[in-house]
Amino acid sequence: MLWSRRGRLRTSAVTIPLASLSLLVLNACSGSGEGDAAAATGPLIATTVSPITSIAAAVGGDRVRIEGIVPEGTNSHTFEPEPRTAELLSDADLILVNGLKLEDPTIALAEANMGPDGRIVEIGTAVLPEEDYIFDFSFPKEEGKPNPHLWTDPTYAVAYAGVIRDELMTLDPDNAEYYEGNFAAFRAKAEELADAVRTDQATVPEGNLKLLTYHDAYAYFAKDFGWQVIGAVQPDSFADPAPSEVAALIEQVKAEGLPTIFGSEVFPSAVLQEIGSAAGVRYEESLRDDDLPGAPGDAEHSWLGLMRYNYATMIRGLGGDPTTLEAMDVTLDTPDTAVYPQ
Ligand SMILES: [Zn+2]
């Protein structure tokens, strides 16, 4: 058995250190209120941000135990894992991170603590060739950190699921067919979502498919779906932009004739509000970054639910009609047993 560490199929249970046993009990307790982690078995997978946790859960179902690290509604770009995360990382059979320099402190903690059979996979780095890296205002080239937000693009989300499927099949070949089936179901839903975005974005008035956001999370999506990111307010330091930059953005919003600019719950922005009122446009502040809608266990508490909400909100804000997106059923039959820290 390839994944016997802390797993149910371990043959010599007497060798489990007491500390691991107490951790198992803790996991069972925290899981009972958040999803159904207590019922899951199999290899232990550590993940970072909640969209990646959700995609991993869509592939792994209840034959893996998945624990997220970055609490929902947290700024993942500046997130530093707590020392107790070292315990999870040392026990994990597989550590799934986005990579592209998003979670360097977590990767450093993992490298210092992971067990001899542990493995770190940088999913975004794996699926994005270097020539396709996007650098921009929030992620300038001279800082060396490309825009890491691939998962907001359904095409890349499917590629992420493909990497996760391959990793799980290698780790746990007995359940290969199960992971393959779950992957196919997730891909079908992600493609349905992409089709719904394309249908609904066609209702947006000509010339309006333009985004000014606070957090710069849609660069790859925009490129694939024919939208234009006219700017993102958040500088690479995650501080507020300089007054001259704010003035330039106000002029740009006026010139582009945007009806709405978008902020997000995770990053409340007085600056964006100021740009909105100075330019005379609506400020929609409800985009969600890594904060999945609803509560763990709800169908919409998922990557599918998150992206449906964000794209429906953008399309409505830009003057379109998101009926197709809102009518879409985001339920997956695969059980989500992951632990999502709140
Ligand atoms: Zn982000």
Ligand 1 centroid to Cα of residue 8, in Å, is: 36
Ligand 1 centroid to Cα of residue 216, in Å, is: 7
Residue 140 reports pLDDT greater than 80: yes
| pLDDT in the model for residue 137 | 81
Residue 205 reports pLDDT greater than 50: yes
Residue 183 reports pLDDT greater than 60: yes
Ligand 1 centroid to Cα of residue 117, in Å, is: 30
Residue 209 vs residues 106, 164, 226, 230: alpha-carbon distances, Å: 36, 32, 8, 10
Taking 3-state DSSP, the helix, strand and coil percentages for the chain, each rounded to the nearest 5, stand at 45, 10, 40
Ligand 1 centroid to Cα of residue 149, in Å, is: 6
CATH 3.40.50.1980 assigned to 13-192: yes
Mean predicted confidence (pLDDT) in 230-255: 84
pLDDT more than 70, % of the chain: 89
The phi, psi pair for 268, rounded to 5°, reads -60, 135
Ligand 1 centroid to Cα of residue 234, in Å, is: 10
Ligand 1 centroid to Cα of residue 269, in Å, is: 15
Lowest mean pLDDT among 184-188, 223-227, 249-253: 249-253
Residue 187 reports pLDDT greater than 60: yes
Nearby residues of 304 by Cβ (< 8 Å), 6 or more positions away: 54, 189, 190, 193, 330, 332
Ligand 1 centroid to Cα of residue 288, in Å, is: 10
| pLDDT in the model for residue 27 | 41
- Asked if 67 and 46 touch (Cβ cutoff 8 Å), the reply is yes
Ligand 1 centroid to Cα of residue 224, in Å, is: 18
Residue 99 reports pLDDT greater than 50: yes
Mean predicted confidence (pLDDT) in 274-302: 93
Tens digit of pLDDT for each residue in 311-328?
999 999 999 999 999 999
Query: Would you tell me which CATH number, out of the four given (1.10.730.10, 3.40.50.10860, 3.40.50.720, 3.40.50.1980), belongs to the domain 204-327?
Result: 3.40.50.1980
CATH 3.40.50.1980 domain residues, the chain = 13-192, 204-327
Neighbours of 166 (CB within 10 A): 17
3-state secondary structure of 11: coil
Residue type, 99: G
Beta bridge partners of 305: none
Tens digit of pLDDT for each residue in 15-55?
333 344 344 434 433 433 344 445 678 999 999 999 999 99
Ligand 1 centroid to Cα of residue 146, in Å, is: 12
Scan for tokens 């691991």, then name that residue.
Answer: 20
Which conformational region is residue 297 in: left (phi greater than 0), alpha (psi within -120 to 50 degrees), or beta?
left
Ligand 1 centroid to Cα of residue 198, in Å, is: 23
| pLDDT in the model for residue 4 | 40
Residue 76 vs residues 29, 165, 188, 252, 300: alpha-carbon distances, Å: 26, 24, 28, 29, 21
Nearby residues of 135 by Cβ (< 8 Å), 6 or more positions away: 141, 146, 147
Ligand 1 centroid to Cα of residue 163, in Å, is: 21
Residue 278 vs residues 160, 269, 275, 285: alpha-carbon distances, Å: 40, 14, 5, 16
Mean pLDDT of the chain: 88
User: Is the C-alpha dihedral spanning 144, 145, 150, 152 positive or negative?
Assistant: negative
Mean predicted confidence (pLDDT) in 195-208: 97
For the entire predicted model, the pTM comes to: 0.88
Ligand 1 centroid to Cα of residue 124, in Å, is: 13
